[in-house]
Chain A
Amino acid sequence: MDQLIQQFFNIDIMVQALPTILRGLGMTLLICAVVIPLGLAGGLMAALASTARSRWLRWPAVALVDLFRAIPPLVLLIFVYAGLPFAGIRLSPFVAVAIAFLLNNSSYYGEVFRAGLISIGKGQWEAARSTGLTQRQTLTHVILPQATRNVLPDLISNTVEVVKLTSLASVVSLGELLHAADLARSVTYNASPLTLAAGVYLVLLWPVVRLLSRYQRRIAV
């Protein structure tokens, strides 16, 4: 038992690792601030394309979304980071992470938005257009607000997944939370920094996870 505490919950080592880990947290938040808006924007475009009337737009959009849902994000990241340099395209870890996550997240957010878009009846379009709104105005002022509200829990749940996904950036040595903690682990030969990092993720995400469960139950009742 003592050994367990010594190995996973060593306070001295945690205190020592804290500054490094907080710096890592800063990077994690920075990645989130970049990839979440990018993913939402990409997802919205994917959703609009995959519900478009023209099949020349719809089919390629659906195919791309499915393709990037079939490839594990880590494979995508390593391909962008370690594969593209062979073609003379050398990207910094941050840019590689942003590109790989954009492709992955857009597909997932795209599916969520698509579900939202098709949940809005055709009557909403017709009514809005008949009041004189243009197509674009109808989309931004009538359809999207309702569609977003309908799929809000899924959007939030997907955003939790995106935040968790940022831990993959550690594989390409981007100094985010997990990378910082793992560095501290390899220096101290002790797993406590990783426990601390897990604690930070819990503080960030547990309230959201709890909220989602609550919300789900309310819908069920």
Chain B
Amino acid sequence: MSNLDRFIETFLNGAVLAKYTPAILQGVWVTIELSILIVIAGTLLGTSLACIRAYRLRPVSFLIVIYADIFRALPPLVLILLAYFGLPNVGVTLSSSTVLFVILGLTLGAFAEEIVWAGITSTDKGQWEAARSTGLGFTQTLIFVVLPQAVRMVIPPLTNRAIAITKMTALGTVIGVPDILNQATTAQSFSGNASPLTLAAVAYVVLFLPFVILSRWLESRFAWKKG
């Protein structure tokens, strides 16, 4: 058997691929579902918190900053293990998917809060003053004038962060979420062949590459507008 044959047999084995493709496709759906939920929950949470921070109520802002700092400084895997293994002993039993969703949602929320907040603070002060002088209230100004401009500014960094964090759904494998990677490692140990891992890698590339390219495009468009 030539080296190439051996390589194909190990990493692109047709029989193994055919057998385990359905399982991995199931994993694909789990990954997609979780990713969508995490992106929606995380951006909503982060944007809301950034807006609340705009009212500059000291104690509230302080709590938001503490939350954002902790979730930006801690590795998500630490929090996932902490929640998954710690909470049942205090009477809170969550499924592994719920733990993954909550932790990654909170992580994206923390980053989104910081990013949107940076957008809000870098919106020109004149925009606030002009809007207020037309008779809009503070909340109206924030929602209808400042936030739309801030959001446009922060779309590229927010997209990058959302991609990085949805990719972390692979961490769910460690606590048994039946995602792509989990299905693939199970299939790999049953089949004694590395092809399911190849398929998993391909599945992730197919899922995420369009978004990586989209983020590159957003960035260049953004840069072009600035210059």
CB distance from A117 to the nearest CB of B (A): 13
Partner of B73 from the list A165, A185, A201 (CB cut-off 8 Å) is A201
Q: Does A57 interact with chain B (Cβ within 8 Å)? A: no
With CB as the reference atom, state the residue of chain A lying closest to B203: A75
Interface size on A, residues (CB 8 A): 54
Contact A72 to B170, CB < 8 A, known contacts A66-B212, A209-B69, A220-B118 = yes
Contact B75 A167 (CB under 8 A): yes
With CB as the reference atom, state the residue of chain A lying closest to B208: A70
Question: With A and B bound together, what is the CA distance between A28 and B178 in angstroms?
Answer: 29
- Contact size range, B: 35 or more
Q: What 0/1 readout, one digit per residue, does chain B (148-182) give for beta carbons within 8 Å of chain A?
A: 00000000000000011001111101100000110
Contact A86 to B212, CB < 8 A, known contacts A75-B200, A213-B114 = no
Contact B118 A216 (CB under 8 A): yes
Contact B10 A86 (CB under 8 A): yes
With CB as the reference atom, state the residue of chain A lying closest to B202: A71
Q: Does A160 interact with chain B (Cβ within 8 Å)? A: yes
Q: Does B90 interact with chain A (Cβ within 8 Å)? A: yes
With CB as the reference atom, state the residue of chain B lying closest to A5: B90
Binding-face segment, B38-46, B78-86, B136-144: B78-86
Contact B91 A3 (CB under 8 A): yes
Q: Does A178 interact with chain B (Cβ within 8 Å)? A: yes
Per DSSP, chain B at the interface is helix
With CB as the reference atom, state the residue of chain B lying closest to A77: B170
Q: Does B94 interact with chain A (Cβ within 8 Å)? A: no
Q: Does B205 interact with chain A (Cβ within 8 Å)? A: yes
Contacts of A8 in B (CB 8 A): 82, 86, 90
Q: Does B213 interact with chain A (Cβ within 8 Å)? A: yes
Question: With A and B bound together, what is the CA distance between A219 and B119 in angstroms?
Answer: 11
Contact B197 A82 (CB under 8 A): yes
Interface residues of A in 163-221 (CB under 8 A from B): 164-168, 170-171, 178, 181-182, 185, 189-191, 194-195, 197-198, 201-202, 205-206, 208-210, 213, 216-217, 219-221
CB distance from A78 to the nearest CB of B (A): 6
Partner of A74 from the list B7, B181, B198, B209 (CB cut-off 8 Å) is B181
Partner of A217 from the list B78, B121, B200 (CB cut-off 8 Å) is B121
Contact B181 A75 (CB under 8 A): yes
With CB as the reference atom, state the residue of chain B lying closest to A2: B90
Contact A201 B75 (CB under 8 A): yes
Contacts of A73 in B (CB 8 A): 167
A185-B81, A210-B69 given. 11 additional CB < 8 A pairs?
A: A4-B90, A8-B82, A66-B212, A78-B197, A79-B198, A82-B194, A87-B11, A164-B76, A168-B77, A198-B78, A198-B82
- Pull 19 A–B residue pairs with CB atoms less than 8 Å apart, ordered by A: A4-B90, A66-B213, A69-B212, A72-B167, A75-B170, A78-B181, A86-B11, A86-B193, A87-B6, A87-B194, A168-B77, A178-B81, A185-B81, A197-B78, A198-B74, A198-B79, A201-B78, A202-B70, A221-B121
Interface residues of A (CB under 8 A from B): 3-4, 7-8, 66-67, 69-76, 78-79, 82-84, 86-87, 160-161, 164-168, 170-171, 178, 181-182, 185, 189-191, 194-195, 197-198, 201-202, 205-206, 208-210, 213, 216-217, 219-221
Which 8 pairs, one residue from A and one from B, show the smallest C-beta to C-beta distance? A191-B86, A167-B75, A72-B170, A164-B75, A70-B208, A220-B122, A205-B73, A83-B194
